[in-house]
């Protein structure tokens, strides 16, 4: 979450008032802080709004795989089914499925596993009626940390 | 010719590379200071270059297990006539079995003539000689060539001194971690970056004859093999594929490149001309076939495949026929690399004890693990076939480059500016 400068200033004042009470400086209450945060919270627009809606409607944008496996588990299929339904309702949105390998794997095998996981997820979306042009894939192999997974990212 | 600072740098490098224990079976070699036929100021300049080169030759040979150089003394002035007519009795009594002499001479065109001679002190005869004409700035290459001449004359194996190493230099943390491909001489000199760092990069592979580098770039949104011309900086995709391509490796003559391409969720091995053409598919099995590496005659390819349920090593003809499994030691085997002398295949083994580097004969016999792991991978052979360069990650996830000799000595960490991974080691440059 990007914090606006105003919020950072406010938090800094809170911090300094807690350690050393400066004369004439009003003490911020938790209620003040909450009000401030609500005011600073920007409304989601454009692709951010679509991303939030996609994540909420799908249940999850990330599906996980067993070690050294590109087989979709039942829960992964549930999430992908919801993703596919959302994508069919939003034919103008383009997504990229990014696959990740296992950290204990060797580099190129991990790259291939990430690609296979992304491809299996994409194939499942297409099977459920999402047009092929709407979904691309890539792989991060084990070059980025985390568990073996496939993440559906809205790109435009 | 202000190269006064170099000897100090050189000494630092030599001492860090000197950590390995002295081998009692090593051939003792004397390397008296390279001399010059020139006189006056010019002569002094030539003697300075000669002394720098002498120390570099000693540092080169000291890294090897087979040759042990005597420490040269700068005050031991060596006369020009003695270059081609050494006093063998003197070197015999010093305990040397071999001798390297040489000279540096200035030419009227501003370049230098560099002469290098290797002698068998016992028998009192010359066993090798080589001369080079080069610019003053190229003296390091001439010294490396001279080290290689001596090493090869004594051991029969190619020297690794005039070779290059490419690797992925890594800095920063998390998803913002910057990765650039770096290329350096095998002694760490001439370190420079050949990619800018905007996109993630992997798997640099130097062309056997130098000048070109194949690597994997994520610049187009997905991993793709690119060919970079190191001279001009121009690059092109290896194949005009929209599919993911990775794991490139040159054939030993540099004419072909084997690589992996994703077809749906299936990875297969393809081969294509290094200068272009249409790729030919070599494997068709479902699952992941990757990391191809050519035999030194270019006729065979070793690769890894999980077609049988787990990653194992397979050997096939370079046209894809006669595929057969060669690894049966238990555990998973990956990232094979065929040694330049054809005798061994280095690999990464995944097991309960993590990832370790080992070697096996191309027929599957003689398997031996060389490193203790647990975060080792990506073996790359030295041109001598006696040493392997690999990547080791520590428990904090930081990775460095290590060299290990086949004789079972401890791995030595290479000094590089940042973290490093994915090393590749070139053959001897022309």
Is position B173 within any domain? Answer: yes
Does one domain contain both B381 and B415? yes
Q: B274: domain range?
A: 164-425
B contact test, residue of A107, A119, A120, A132 with most B CBs within 10 A: A107
Instruction: Identify the domain boundary among B155, B186, B205.
Output: B155
Does one domain contain both B203 and B110? no
What is chain A's length?
156
Q: What is the mean pLDDT of residues B142-153?
A: 95
Contacts of A155 (CB under 8 A, 6+ apart): A94, A95, A96, A136
d(CA B304, CA A105) in angstroms, rounded, equals 13
Per-residue pLDDT at B76: 86
Cβ contact A108–B221 (<8 Å): no
Does one domain contain both B147 and B170? no
Does one domain contain both B147 and B168? no
Does one domain contain both A27 and A73? no
Per-residue pLDDT at B187: 87
- Predicted structure pTM score: 0.83
Instruction: Identify the domain boundary among B100, B129, B155.
Output: B155
| B265 interfacial to chain A (CB closer than 8 Å) | yes
Q: How far is CA B325 from the centre of its chain?
A: 28
Per-residue pLDDT at B245: 97
CATH number at residue B319: 2.120.10.30
Does one domain contain both B137 and B179? no
Contact between residue B380 and residue B337 where contact means Cβ atoms under 8 Å apart: yes
Q: What is the pLDDT of residues B363-393, one digit of tens each?
A: 999 999 999 989 999 999 999 999 999 999 9
Does one domain contain both A29 and A96? no
As a whole-number percent, the residues of chain B with pLDDT over 70 amount to 94
Does one domain contain both B28 and B86? yes
Phi, psi of B362 (to 5 degrees): -60, -20
CATH number at residue A73: 3.30.1330.60
Per-residue pLDDT at A43: 67
Does one domain contain both A24 and A89? no
Q: A27: domain range?
A: 5-40
Read off the pLDDT band of B201 (50, 70, 90): very high
Is position B1 within any domain? Answer: no
Residue of A nearest to B265 (CA): A116
Per-residue pLDDT at A40: 57
Handedness of CA A102, A108, A109, A111 (dihedral sign): positive
d(CA B340, CA B380) in angstroms, rounded, equals 10
Q: What is the pLDDT of residues B263-312, one digit of tens each?
A: 989 999 999 999 888 999 999 999 999 999 999 999 999 999 999 999 99
First CA to last CA across chain B, in angstroms? 25
Beta strands across the sheet bearing A95-100 = A62-64, A149-154, A95-100, A135-141
What separation in angstroms does the CA of B152 have from each of B26, B61, B146, B203, B208?
Answer: 14, 11, 10, 30, 19
Does one domain contain both B68 and B217? no
Per-residue pLDDT at B24: 57
Per-residue pLDDT at A156: 79
Domain count, chain B: 2
Query: Of B341, B330, B328, B412, which Cα lies nearest the Cα of B370?
Result: B412
Does one domain contain both A60 and A36? no
d(CA B152, CA B157) in angstroms, rounded, equals 5
User: According to DSSP H, which parts of chain A are helical?
Assistant: 5-19, 30-40, 46-58, 74-89, 107-127
DSSP state of B401: E
* pLDDT value at A28 more than 70: no
Does one domain contain both B141 and B194? no
Is position B124 within any domain? Answer: yes
Domain count, chain A: 2
Is position B430 within any domain? Answer: no
Q: What is the pLDDT of residues B96-109, one digit of tens each?
A: 999 999 999 999 99
Q: What is the pLDDT of residues B417-427, one digit of tens each?
A: 999 999 999 98
Higher pLDDT, B10 or B270: B270
Q: What is the mean pLDDT of residues B112-121?
A: 96
Cβ contact B244–A113 (<8 Å): no
* pLDDT value at B338 more than 70: yes
Instruction: Identify the domain boundary among B155, B183, B199.
Output: B155
Read off the pLDDT band of B18 (50, 70, 90): very low
CATH number at residue B31: 3.40.50.10070
Is position B225 within any domain? Answer: yes
Residues of B in contact with A97 (CB under 8 A): none
B331-B333-B335 Cα angle (round to 5): 155
Cβ contact B223–A119 (<8 Å): no
- Average pLDDT for chain B: 90
Does one domain contain both B199 and B105? no
Per-residue pLDDT at B312: 97
């Amino acid at each position: 979450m990007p914090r606006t400068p105003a919020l950072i200033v406010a938090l800094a004042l809170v911090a300094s008032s807690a350690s050393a009470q400066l004369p004439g400086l009003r003490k911020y209450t938790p209620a003040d802080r909450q009000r401030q945060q609500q005011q600073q919270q920007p409304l989601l627009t454009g692709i951010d709004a679509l991303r939030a809606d996609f994540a909420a409607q799908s249940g999850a944008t990330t599906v996980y795989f067993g070690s050294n496996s590109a087989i979709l588990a039942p829960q992964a299929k549930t999430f992908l089914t919801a993703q596919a339904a959302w994508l069919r309702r939003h034919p103008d949105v383009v997504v990229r499925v990014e696959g990740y390998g296992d950290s204990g794997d060797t580099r190129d095998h991990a790259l291939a596993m990430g690609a296979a996981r992304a491809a299996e997820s994409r194939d499942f979306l297409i099977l459920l009626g999402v047009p092929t042009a709407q979904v691309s894939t890539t792989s991060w192999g084990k070059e980025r940390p985390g568990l073996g997974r496939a993440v559906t990212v809205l790109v435009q | 010719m202000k190269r006064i600072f170099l000897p100090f740098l050189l000494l630092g490098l030599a001492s860090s590379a000197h950590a390995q224990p002295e081998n009692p079976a090593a051939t003792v070699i004397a390397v008296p200071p390279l001399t010059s036929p020139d006189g006056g100021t010019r002569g002094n300049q030539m003697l300075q270059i000669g002394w720098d080169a002498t120390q570099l030759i000693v540092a080169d040979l000291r890294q090897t297990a087979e040759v042990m150089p005597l420490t040269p003394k700068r005050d031991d002035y060596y006369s020009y006539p003695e270059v081609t007519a050494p006093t063998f009795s003197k070197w015999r009594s010093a305990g040397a079995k071999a001798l390297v002499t040489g000279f540096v001479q200035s030419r009227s065109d501003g370049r230098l003539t560099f002469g290098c001679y290797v002698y068998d002190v016992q028998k009192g005869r010359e066993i090798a000689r080589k001369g080079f004409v080069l610019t003053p700035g190229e003296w390091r290459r001439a010294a490396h060539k001279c080290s290689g001449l001596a090493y090869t004359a004594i051991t029969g194996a190619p020297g690794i001194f005039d070779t290059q190493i490419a690797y992925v230099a890594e800095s920063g943390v998390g998803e913002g971690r910057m990765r650039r491909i770096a290329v350096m001489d095998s002694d760490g000199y001439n370190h420079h970056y050949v990619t800018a760092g905007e996109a993630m990069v992997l798997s640099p592979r130097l062309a056997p004859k130098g000048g070109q580098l194949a690597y994997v770039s994520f610049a187009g949104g997905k991993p793709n093999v690119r060919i970079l011309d190191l001279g001009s900086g121009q690059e092109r995709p290896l194949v005009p594929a929209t599919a993911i391509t990775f794991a490139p490796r040159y054939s030993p003559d540099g004419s072909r490149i084997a690589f992996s391409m994703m077809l749906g969720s299936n990875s297969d091995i393809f081969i294509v001309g290094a200068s272009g053409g249409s790729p030919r598919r070599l494997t068709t099995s479902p699952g992941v076939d990757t990391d191809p590496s050519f035999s030194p005659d270019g006729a065979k390819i070793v690769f890894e495949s999980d077609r049988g349920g787990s990653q194992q090593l397979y050997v096939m003809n370079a046209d894809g026929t006669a595929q057969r499994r060669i690894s049966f030691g238990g555990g998973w085997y990956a990232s094979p690399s065929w040694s330049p002398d054809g005798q061994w295949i280095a690999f990464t083994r995944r097991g309960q004890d993590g990832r370790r580097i080992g070697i096996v004969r191309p027929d599957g016999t003689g398997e031996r693990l060389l490193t203790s792991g647990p975060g080792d991978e990506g073996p790359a052979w030295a041109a001598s076939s006696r040493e392997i360069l690999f990547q080791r990650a520590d428990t904090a996830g930081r990775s460095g480059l290590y060299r290990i000799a086949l004789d079972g000595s401890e791995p030595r960490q290479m000094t590089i500016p940042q973290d490093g991974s994915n090393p590749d080691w070139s053959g001897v440059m022309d």
